[in-house]
A = this chain, B = another copy of it.
Amino acid sequence: MASYEVMVEIRHLPGINDPEGATVERALPALGFSTISKVSMGKAIRFSIDADDVDSATLSVNDVCKRLLANPVLESFEIKIREIK
């Protein structure tokens, strides 16, 4: 049994409204940041998982993303896994 550190990034699918990102983008010019564009606001979820190997950890994380963390109709997710030595 090994421990893994997981980072899941959840993003809006292309074409899905991102009001938080749009609000940030609208606020930027007034603060003097006129060179920033395409703001997109997602979630960064970090957790630890115990698993036999990296493959079974990845499988579990995929499953938990689909069932709990992300809404696959509106969001995509990207997983990064690193073993904790």
Contacts and interface: CB of A to CB of B under 8 A. Distances in A.
Contacts of A46: 11, 38-40, 42
A43 B41 contact: yes
A69 B20 CA distance: 11
For the complex formed by this chain, how many copies does it contain in all? Answer: 2
Task: Summarize A's interface: helix, strand, loop or mixed.
Answer: strand
Interface in A13-52: 21, 24-25, 27-28, 31, 33, 35-51
A35 B59 CA distance: 13
Given A24-B69, A27-B68, A37-B49, 18 more contacts: A11-B44, A24-B45, A25-B47, A33-B63, A33-B64, A35-B50, A36-B48, A36-B60, A37-B47, A38-B47, A39-B45, A40-B46, A40-B47, A41-B44, A42-B45, A42-B46, A43-B43, A43-B44
